[in-house]
Structure 1
Amino acid sequence: HILISIPPKMAVSSAVGFIKGKSAIYIARNFLGKRRNFVGESFWARGFYVSTVGLDEASVREYIKHQEKEDQRIDQLQLF
């Protein structure tokens, strides 16, 4: 989950493509030991989900803030 603000003139797909592209290169370089040649490889899924946030931005921020803890709790319940 990520909450970002983009200018109205920027396409959402451009912003998401930039974030996914740069983060995939960063992860490949720093965690997979690759320096070049990322052609033909994919790290992120092809699609994405986008929603707008208005008056309930604070609740969305709170949800994102606690999401990792909730995922860990659910994973613990599924062990048994």
Structure 2
Amino acid sequence: MLEGKSTPDHVHMCLIIPLKYSIAFTIGLLKGKSAVRIHRYMHRKRQLSAKSFCSRRYCVSTLGLNEETIRVYIRQQEESEKQQLELDFE
């Protein structure tokens, strides 16, 4: 993982995936492992609910010369979302 940022409802990541692994395999592995860890954590805290942890959807974009632009976007995502929420409430 080159860059990453999480919010309460989603995660942005900039990854390098070796060509021998498909994008679908890699995303499935990441989402599966994270769902198991979240479930274990919530079970220990006695905060289990019937909700699922991961959406079946995801968005993928390949990078070329724009890698730094994407990495800056990921870093600034939280601030951007806060500004959007402020605009929505006005």
1:2 counterpart SS class: strand
Cα displacement (A) at 1:42: 2.9
Tell me which residue corresponds to 2:61: 51
Select the residue among 56, 64, 84 that pairs with 1:74. 84
Cα displacement (A) at 1:45: 1.1
Please give the per-residue CA displacement for 1:23-64, whole angstroms capped at 9, x wherever unaligned.
11111222x225xxxxxx631111211110011100100000
Q: Residue type matched to 1:62 in 2?
A: V
The structure showing larger relative contact order (alpha-carbon pairs under 8 Å, at least 6 residues apart) is: 2
1:26 aligns with 2:37: yes
| RMSD (Å) for aligned C-alpha atoms | 1.7
Q: Between Structure 1 and Structure 2, which shows a larger proportion of strand residues? A: 2
Distance in structure 2 (CA, Å) of the matches to 1:26 and 1:79: 34
Report sequence identity in percent.
Answer: 37
1:61 counterpart SS class: helix
Q: Mind listing any 5+ residue stretches in structure 1 that lack a counterpart?
A: 35-40
1:78 counterpart SS class: helix
Tell me which residue corresponds to 1:42: 52
Give the total of aligned pairs. 74
Select the residue among 16, 25, 39 that pairs with 1:14. 25
Greater than 6 Å deviation, 4+ residue runs: none
Cα displacement (A) at 1:9: 0.9
